[in-house]
Amino acid sequence: MTLFDLTGKVAVVTGSSRGIGKAIVERLAEHGAKVVVSSRKAQACEEVAAAINAKHGAGAALAIPANISSKDDLQRLVDETVRVNGQVNILVCNAASNPYYGPLGGIADEQFRKILDNNIVSNHWLINMVAPAMQARKDGAIVIVSSIGGLKGNAIIGAYNISKAADFSLARNLAVEFGADNVRVNCIAPGLIKTDFARALWENPKTLAAFNARTPLARIGDPDEIAGAAVFLASRAGAYMTGQTIVVDGGQTIT
């Protein structure tokens, strides 16, 4: 067995029909995990799962659509995963929302609540749905995909950054609560990645040029460049790591 072998593990990844989540679910499957592809749109989930099954064999991937804003949807996601695959060994909370760009003084209450509910509360719900069984087995890996935005202020995406900073704290506190049962909880903090979710930031040539100018690698990231960190945190290679954040940002934090 290699340090990164995930054979026999079952992984649930939210927001995995595109972008970072899709890259993560593909790489987890490549390393042997049975994966559950989940996002709001059933067809998109089914297409990703079908491609994984075609590559790795029938049963390698299962599509279960779910809306992270619905606690019932999330419970169904967990229950159906357990019904089909027996358990959840790896959970990656990747799905998030950001319906507002602009200063905090202009955000509507419903927009702020949506950001906090979808980016923090839904993670709390889902983690607590899978954690008891992980604790009983004395084995589990939970990964929250946060953001470099949680480490700094921003006049345009401040509300989103606040939610991502809270995810760091959520991981730290749950790491303390679950550690005695060998259940690890960590975060990944991507920088600017070329996804549809971040399109408003990288599609503007001036914004992109300014970002590249202050980043040592002089470019934004690709979704697949985040997936390796998730594989590490989910595998035996990351067995002595919990309550931590891996920053994957091309060096922006050191400029």
What residues act catalytically? 160
Burial classification of residue 230, based on how many CB atoms lie within 10 Å of its CB (0-12 exposed, 13-18 middle, 19 or more buried): buried
Sign of CA dihedral 7, 195, 64, 137: positive
d(CA 31, CA 251): 27
d(CA 158, CA 106): 11
**Would you put residue 32 in left (φ > 0), alpha (ψ -120 to 50) or beta?**
left
The stretches of 86-198 forming alpha helices (DSSP H) are: 109-116, 122-137, 158-178
Residues in the chain: 255
d(CA 185, CA 144): 8
Reported as type and span, the H/E element at residue 247 is strand 245-248
